[in-house]
Amino acid sequence: MRIGTSGWTYKHWRGTFYPDGLRIADQLDYYAERFDTVELNGSHYRWPADTTVEGWRDRLPQGFEMTVKASRYLSHYRKLKDPADWVERITHTHDLLGDKAGPLVVQLPADLHRDDDRLSTFLGMLPERVRVAVEPQHESWLDDGVFDLLDRHGAGFVVSVVAGREPVLRASGRLAYVRFHNSDPEWRYGGSFDDEALTRWVGHLRGLTAGGRPAYCYFNNDNYGYAAFNGLRLKELVAAQT
């Protein structure tokens, strides 16, 4: 089970998660001493250059995995239509990361209704070595037929943890995947998950990983460094119950 955060380069983490005076260039090293995975959130907005990816690969420790979030140009603007060029770019970046490559996470936009053919076409174009998890946001996707589709392609279902909404505790394909977005309904990426909530999630994760699926868990509640502190605490709670 891998636990980390969605992104690591937040200005407001200086003096909270990162010590005052720590150079920006050293933040990834500091992070990687405490976590064994990170979700690259910036790739959703701007795809990283090859030299940047190679730099991450070379400096990250053995055993560390970097998950990459699909570009919004593929997921939100094209809505998975005509994905061939993006599949090529995604695969190239995955291969550059080498043994540091984690899964690809594809967040579907909230206005994209269920379209099995479109999703299946995209998933079918990805090479098998690229593990993928899909985060649908429209409720029409929450159907057994979609989970069967994901299973056929070996694709994981992303459990979205959003305050005020009951999470869909399902896993599919080759991996379980959880994104903790917020714990406060008034704060989109805010609020801290308390020990009671995190302890419940230890049990949920045990269920999601039944059968030997690996799990990837990322905290996206970045305000005040809560994501990092919640991630570290969940790691402690998981370790205490294994």
Alpha helices (H) in the chain, listed in sequence order? 27-32, 50-59, 72, 84-97, 116-125, 144-153, 195-208, 226-240
101 backbone dihedrals φ, ψ, rounded to 5°: -80, 120
Q: Residues 6 or more apart from 1 whose CB is under 8 A from it?
A: 205, 209, 214, 215, 217, 238
CA quadruple 49, 33, 64, 15: dihedral sign: negative
Distance CA 85, CA 92 (A): 11
CA dist 188 to 45, 73, 78, 212, 228, Å?
18, 22, 25, 33, 16
What confidence score (pLDDT) does residue 157 get? Answer: 99
Q: Which amino acid is at 60?
A: L
pLDDT, tens digit (0-9, with 9 covering 90-100), for 41-96: 999 999 999 999 999 999 999 999 999 999 999 999 999 999 999 999 999 999 99
Burial group, residue 114, by CB count within 10 angstroms (0-12, 13-18, 19+): middle
Helix 195-208 and helix 226-240, axial crossing angle in degrees, nearest 10: 60
Band (29; pLDDT cuts 50, 70, 90): very high
- Residue 242 pLDDT greater than 80, yes or no: no
Band (186; pLDDT cuts 50, 70, 90): confident
What confidence score (pLDDT) does residue 76 get? Answer: 97
Band (15; pLDDT cuts 50, 70, 90): very high
Q: What's the average model confidence in pLDDT over 140-159?
A: 98
Whichever domain contains 110, its CATH number is: 3.20.20.410
Q: Which strands form 156-161's sheet, in the order they lie side by side?
A: 2-5, 215-219, 176-180, 156-161, 132-135, 101-107, 65-69, 37-40
What confidence score (pLDDT) does residue 183 get? Answer: 82
Q: What's the average model confidence in pLDDT over 143-170?
A: 96
Enclosing domain of residue 13:
2-240
Distance CA 189, CA 226 (A): 10
What confidence score (pLDDT) does residue 99 get? Answer: 98
3-class secondary-structure state, position 15: coil
Distance CA 163, CA 186 (A): 9
Q: Name the DSSP letter for residue 75.
A: I
Percentage, residues of the chain above pLDDT 70 = 100
CA quadruple 78, 57, 161, 227: dihedral sign: negative
Q: Name the DSSP letter for residue 73.
A: I
End-to-end alpha-carbon separation of the chain, Å? 11
What confidence score (pLDDT) does residue 211 get? Answer: 86
User: Model-level pTM?
Assistant: 0.95
Band (182; pLDDT cuts 50, 70, 90): confident
Taking Cα atoms as reference points, which of 175, 191, 174, 183 lies closest to residue 226? 191
Domain count, the chain: 1
How many C-alpha atoms does 20 have within 13 Å on its Cβ side? 1
